[in-house]
A and B are shown apart, each in its own frame.
Chain A
């Protein structure tokens, strides 16, 4: 890849990571994550979203990209959890918030509601099904990615 192609990609990546860091920290504040841990929420949120952005650019499906990004962040979370002596979930969940497909989730429900009021419509049904399945798989990928250290390494012993 030449420099001409790499630079715009890098800029896109930086923008993506910066835009993901803000909601990760913002939602961490709704979850009342302590002040000194907020920066890790922002960092992990940016890392996760940036990783997924790169993998999707490389042509990977969004669910697999989410799974890998969530797995990476949860391993980083284990490292931090041992330093802070707190469960990794306390800060990794907030970092996952930018990856949650909220628009798809609400689109599914609104489409289902419309199916109820307008009657069956193939296009509407397809919208509901596609968005619903995407939501389902991405949330599953996030939760399983976050559980990865426990599934792979910490099978019979606690993380902290």
Chain B
């Protein structure tokens, strides 16, 4: 293969051995899969994976992204190698995504060497906010949503309590490795049940707004936006699967809302 750069003073590098080729391909895959697992859009996964491959002295890298797998074919001299890795969704984690991106970009521009890059990619630890802090933040967020919609202070307090309880439910279900669909259903049921009490006892003037705001933590905003972005950038396959999954989550949430409203005999939506 000819050099990618026109400068002729770069000595032609030795062709990769099979072990080196395999290791480089594997590192490419690891970079790509980490980004994919933590909710990065497909266009960026492909571009970072390919650029990592070039930085690892591969001649050419082709990346095919599917909904739950990534395929990398790498070329080194006369040889090529194709690897597939299954993608298990680890939940959205922008911290991991940013760490991997920064390492890949720094490696590409030569700021860190390969060993450092490999260490970073292999040992990146997912940072998570403490659960109680997330519960508090989500409660406040939904109270703000209620206020934005015009709820009174009582409504905001109910939205806070209901969404915080829903977030706890969601975390508990996630902790026991339930499918997120089950967790969303239960969380919506909890939030709507709490707000239904405000509606039943006629506490405050805007219990309906509180009920609507208290389930907003369950809107699958990230997959929806990522899904449309994927499709805009030509990754229709992954886009459709992201949106389909988001729709399922929303359906589960609405099932929880409707069940809670039927159970308490009070209808807070659509009236």
Contact = CB atoms under 8 A, between A and B. Distances in A.
Counting contact residues on chain A (CB < 8 A from B), the size range is 35 or more
A31 B270 contact: no
Given A22-B140, A103-B216, A107-B269, A96 B221 contact: yes
Sorting the interface of chain B by its residue count into under 10, 10 to 19, 20 to 34 or 35 or more gives 35 or more
Contact of B258 (A16, A22, A103, A113): A113
A33 B229 contact: no
Contacts of B190: none
Contacts of B98: 34, 37, 84, 86-87, 90
Interface in B217-260: 217, 219, 221-222, 224-229, 232-233, 250-251, 253-254, 257-258
A103 B144 contact: no
8 contacts: A19-B144, A84-B102, A86-B102, A87-B97, A93-B226, A97-B221, A110-B258, A114-B270
A67 interface: no
B129 interface: yes
B209 to A, nearest CB: 9
A14 interface: no
A147 interface: yes
Contact of B229 (A31, A102, A146): A146
A146 B128 CA distance: 26
For the complex of A and B, the 5 pairs showing the least CB-CB separation, nearest first, are A143-B228, A26-B141, A102-B219, A23-B141, A26-B137
Interface of B: 39-41, 43-44, 47, 51, 92-98, 101-102, 105-106, 126-129, 133-134, 137-138, 140-142, 144-145, 147-149, 212-213, 215-217, 219, 221-222, 224-229, 232-233, 250-251, 253-254, 257-258, 269-270
Given A26-B138, A102-B216, A114-B270, A20 B144 contact: yes
Contacts of B225: 93, 96, 100, 139, 142-143, 146
A100 B270 contact: no
A85 interface: yes
A29 B254 contact: no
Most buried by A among B106, B225, B226, B229: B225
Interface in A65-88: 84-87
A87 B44 contact: yes
Given A85-B101, A147-B229, A32 B94 contact: yes
Interface string A139-160: 1101110110011000000101
A91 interface: yes
B126 to A, nearest CB: 7
